[in-house]
Each structure stands twice: as structure tokens, then as C-alpha cells.
Homo-oligomer: A and B are copies of this chain.
Amino acid sequence: MKKSTEAAVGRKRDHTLNTRIIEAALDTLAETGFEGMTMDAVATRAKTGKASVYRRWASKAELVRDALIQMSKGSVETEQLPDKGCLRDDLLALLKPYPAGYGERKIKVMSGLGRFFTEHQDLAEEVMQGVFVPWSAANRQLMERAMARGEISAAADIETACQVIVAVTACRTQAQYGRLITRDLTTVIDNLILPALMHPTNVA
């Protein structure tokens, strides 16, 4: 209705502001989590006012949804998976695709979302499809490729392995688990994931 003829006259919207606000939202999310993130803080960080934020998004939840989807865009490119020759390096490459700190913020953001997911299940569903599923699928593809070329056992439980990677990644940087999960992903992959994939024998 408005889309085609909107804003025939008057000052144009500054579209760089959209991304400035989303970046500010992601930074704040990473620092304080969903409940800790206030709209005033986001606006201030984006060097604008709340009015301009609410001119673009109807609510805090919708801003967060779009910020999360934006964050995952191109972050795990399923089309363009790493191919380092061995599974170990592929898995690690998937987790550190960006320079200094970028991947770290992503993990921090994801770990502070508890309340958002339980309170906005409709929006959470969209995020789930846009972020978690591709991430997990990328892990799975790398493992399937390794299995196809005989690097890991054909009997390996790929599904469990790739879910555990996601779980450990999500938990590791959370403040509450910082004292216990001191292992980094490299150690987990080298000493747990890979041995289990190569020797899937169990006791049962």
C-alpha cells in the first residue's frame, strides 16, 4: 500500500542507520544478554534516539530477531564450507571464520538469549531456522564428507558429535560455566570428538 509510493516528499530515511542500530543491538546483546539490553542503551550506542529505533522496529523483540538473523547471514556459509583436507581443521575453521573477536561476539550473543526464547516463541522459531539449523548442518556436512573419504569410521554417531559441539560452544563462554568448562574447542575436538568418531565402539 505504501511501499510503492512512500516518501514522495520530505527528508529521506538514513539507511545506514538501520545497520548502525543492528550493530549496536548485537554489541549490547553480547555484553548484557537479552534482559540486560535496554532500548535506551541501543539507541545511545547507535548515536541516535529511541524514536528512530521505534520508527524502524515495532518492538525490542523484533529488533532482536532481525539482529540475530542479520548476524547469521553469511556467518556459516553452507555453500562455501572450509576444505582443509582433514576433519579437524575443517571443524576448527568453521568456528573461526572471522578475524579477531567477531566469532566471540556471536557466541556471547547466543548465550544471553534465554528469556528471549521462552517469551517470544514465535520469533524464536524464525531465529532457530536462521541460525542454529545452518550451523549444525554445516558441522554435519563436514563430518559426512570425512566419513565418505574414510577418515572416520562408518559407524560413527555423527549427529551426537555435532550436537555436542554446538552445546559446548554455547556453554563455554557463559560466565556461569567459565570456571568448569576451561577446555577450549580445540581440546574438545582433538581429545573427544575425533577419537569417538574414529573408534565408535562402545561397551553395550
Mark A residues whose CB is within 8 Å of B.
Answer: 33, 35-36, 86, 88, 111-115, 117-118, 124, 128, 132, 136, 157, 159-161, 163-164, 166-168, 170-172, 174-177, 179-183, 187-188, 190-196, 198-204
Contact B163 A114, beta carbon cutoff 8 Å:
no
Q: How far is the CA of A86 from the CA of B202 in the complex (A)?
A: 12
Q: Is the interface of A mostly helix, strand, loop or mixed?
A: helix
> Which 7 A/B pairs are nearest by Cβ-Cβ distance?
A199-B199, A157-B191, A117-B176, A195-B196, A167-B171, A196-B196, A192-B196
Contact B195 A199, beta carbon cutoff 8 Å:
yes
With A190-B204, A195-B200, A200-B195 known as contacts, the answer to whether A167 contacts B168 (CB < 8 A) is: yes
Contact B191 A166, beta carbon cutoff 8 Å:
no
Name the contact of A168 in the complex, choosing from B115, B164, B187, B195 (C-beta under 8 A).
Answer: B164
Q: Closest residue of chain B to A116, judged by CB? A: B176
Copies of this chain present: 2
Q: Closest residue of chain B to A192, judged by CB? A: B196
Q: How far is the CA of A193 from the CA of B88 in the complex (A)?
A: 18
Name the contact of A201 in the complex, choosing from B88, B192, B198 (C-beta under 8 A).
Answer: B198
| Interfacial chain B residues near A191, Cβ < 8 Å | 157, 160-161, 196, 200, 202
| Interfacial chain B residues near A182, Cβ < 8 Å | 163
With A36-B115, A167-B172, A174-B114 known as contacts, the answer to whether A160 contacts B132 (CB < 8 A) is: no
Contact A202 B196, beta carbon cutoff 8 Å:
no
Q: What are some 26 contacts across the A-B interface (CB < 8 A)?
A: A33-B115, A36-B118, A88-B203, A88-B204, A114-B176, A118-B175, A157-B192, A159-B183, A160-B183, A160-B191, A163-B182, A163-B183, A164-B181, A164-B192, A166-B177, A167-B171, A167-B172, A167-B177, A168-B168, A170-B177, A171-B171, A190-B203, A195-B196, A195-B202, A196-B196, A198-B199
| Interfacial chain B residues near A198, Cβ < 8 Å | 199, 201
